[in-house]
Amino acid sequence: DGGITQSPKYLFRKEGQNVTLSCEQNLNHDAMYWYRQDPGQGLRLIYYSQIVNDFQKGDIAEGYSVSREKKESFPLTVTSAQKNPTAFYLCASSIVPNGETQYFGPGTRLLVL
């Protein structure tokens, strides 16, 4: 059963804590993306990776970090430097690295305690 999985579905962060959101795909897609969605708003690009061991900053990368050590995995760390982390985080992948035909995972909702 192919697709994109994100875990956990809900995540709680305490003040000063780093948390890591998981994104895995078994579609053999080259490119992967992280977006942030705030209530009533569109998606904003955090980071993207067009190939293993390479990634680029998106429009709102401050306070976030990523790694791409394996083709199927693209974890996102929300660091303590991100002062307003409460949001819905969406991971996507595409078969080619030009941003077209992206498929999304189910999302992780991050809440601050």
> DSSP string covering the chain, please?
---EEEE-SEEEE-TT--EEEEEEE-S--SEEEEEEE-TTS-EEEEEEEEETTEEEE-TT-TTEEE--SBTTB--EEE-TT-S---EEEEEEEESSTTS-S-EE---EEEEE-
When the beta carbons of 77 and 103 are compared against other proteins, the nearer one is 103
When the beta carbons of 48 and 71 are compared against other proteins, the nearer one is 48
Site for other proteins in 59-78 (CB under 8 A): 59
When the beta carbons of 28 and 41 are compared against other proteins, the nearer one is 41
Region from 11-19, 38-46, 61-69, 74-82 binding other proteins, contact rule CB under 8 A: 38-46
Tokens at 39, concatenated: 């209530």
Region from 12-20, 40-48, 60-68, 79-87 binding other proteins, contact rule CB under 8 A: 40-48
Residues binding other proteins (CB under 8 A): 4, 6, 33, 35, 40-45, 48, 58-59, 90, 92, 98-107
